Chains A and B, each alone.
Chain A
Amino acid sequence: MSQINKEKGVQFIFLGIALLSITMLFLIMLFLFMEGIPVFEHVSIKEFIFGDLWYPTDDEPAFGIFPLIIGSFSVASFSAILAIPLGIMTAIYIAEIADKRIAEIVKPVVELMASMPSVVIGFFGMIVVAPFLQKFFNIPVGLNLFNAGLMLAFMAIPTICSISEDALFSVPSALKEGSYALGATHLETIIKITIPAALSGISTGVILGLSRAIGETMVVLMVAGGAAIVPGSIFDPIRPMPSTIAAEMAEAPYHSEHYYALFAVAITLFIFTFIFNLAADYISYKYKQTEESY
């Protein structure tokens, strides 16, 4: 075989492999839509999204996923409130303040936290955190929005921290020196120069961390309480979208309304995480243009 043909062959193989993986993902998406859309023969899109009753197995089944959406968002927002400041501040400490020796220990430890299996975190939430919350706040059950948000924050912090740390670390030292040379203190330099310059990376980290929290299944299944209601307080149980799918899919008869409805929930979830990732891409692209000037 001539050299050129070999070259072409290699290109062809790579093209094939690339197409294969993309096609499979595309087919999964297609399947998702094919299995989800039939539910809208029984229920309108508006009722589905804004209906606040989720009784999929009743004689007169109700497929309103509003409580599930709110469940997902409330737990994601609550974990964001905890995880964003903690993750970013840890990143600032590691990248800018900590002694090099300490940073070399802390950074891998934080990154190691990301490799903790979610079932372990869920287990911890159930066995340790739930009884503690019950006693400490004097509430009937410890499996609720608060607990789930706490556990999801645990999971999001390593992602937020590690991506933010990389972004802060790669801020050109020329910028920091320029700030010091004008008489800025270390803190002023961090707040006014380093953080704004690293904002693209920090936002990417935040969004990826949170999209992990919003798509997370096992933890919320274990510790969120599982009641499909719109929560009135942070100590109410919730039932986010992923745990609904995981808990009910095995019991839903094949091609029943319930089955279709669960796929439609999955479509909703998919759209949300898709928007999250799109936003992350857009933000990092937008800021990167200014960063490349150095």
Chain B
Amino acid sequence: MEPKIKMCTRKLDFFYDTFQALCDISLDFHEYKSTALIGPSGCGKSTYLKCLNRMNELIPKTKITGDVKLNDDIIYSSDVDVVSLRRKVGMVFQKPNPFPKTIFDNVAYGPIINGEKNKSKLTEIVEKSLKQAAIWDEVKDRLNNNALELSGGQQQRLCIARALAVNPEVLLMDEPASALDPIATQKIEELINELKKKLTIIIVTHNMQQAARVSDRTAFFYMGKLIEVNDTDTLFTNPALKQTEDYITGRFG
């Protein structure tokens, strides 16, 4: 049975002023699967990721054409509320960016701006999210400490918990482990494999072993174009194009 397509882009072009960063990208993301976006630096994969929750709109002088759909709804149409879109399509950044607030307040931030006022409900959401992000045991006794006291790996898992607290359907991750040490990286990867049971994950990574470990499908980007996309196993063992093979075997990039 064909898996359900959760999110997709059709003929997506993206411009920074006059520079075309993305060119004609059509790509599907399957529900409850994780898709890795790989490619050399500057190939447009992070830019592409930002287009999926309209974070690109925060950068002045950019232009986007083509369609991005979430559950078959076009997310760039004028009647879509960008705020509610970003609640459905969460994002975790390259560098951990916890707010300079307590651990509790970091996770509760999303639900609170969503209008949740009930204190016991919030406590419940915070606990659930921290457990989902596999950091509950490490922080449960110091929820009122400042989040900046945590280590880098803990901060990143806190950021994941923060994203999960608003119940997203899709989670975008922009090189979530690139600033972390191997053990913290391993924890994040285990977490991704756990999370994709409940949501759809799209992860940008520079590390091809990581792509192989955490993703079901992999898309290879080069110079703003989508070169090849396939099941991760197939793409890594039997790439269709020479260019993909050169990249994954480390001949360039």
Contacts and interface: CB of A to CB of B under 8 A. Distances in A.
Interface of A: 100, 172, 174-175, 177-185, 188, 192-193, 196-197, 290-291, 293
Interface string B143-165: 00010100000000001001100
Contacts of A100: 60
Given A180-B55, A183-B113, 17 more contacts: A175-B100, A177-B97, A179-B109, A181-B53, A181-B55, A182-B87, A182-B109, A182-B110, A182-B113, A182-B163, A183-B83, A183-B87, A184-B83, A185-B113, A192-B113, A197-B100, A293-B100
B75 interface: no
B46 to A, nearest CB: 12
Interface string B80-105: 00011111001101010111110000
13 contacts: A175-B100, A177-B97, A178-B162, A180-B55, A180-B86, A181-B90, A181-B93, A181-B163, A182-B87, A182-B90, A183-B166, A184-B109, A290-B100
B86 A183 contact: yes
Given A192-B109, A192-B113, A290-B146, A178 B93 contact: yes
A196 B106 CA distance: 13
B114 interface: yes
Contact of B159 (A172, A178, A193, A293): A178
Nearest to B146: A290
B58 interface: yes
A290 B148 contact: yes
A193 B85 CA distance: 20
A100 B159 CA distance: 31
B110 A172 contact: no
A276 to B, nearest CB: 26
A184 B91 contact: no
A185 B83 contact: yes
A182 B86 contact: yes
Contacts of B159: 178
Nearest to B53: A181
Contacts of A175: 97, 99-100
Contact of B162 (A174, A182, A196, A290): A182
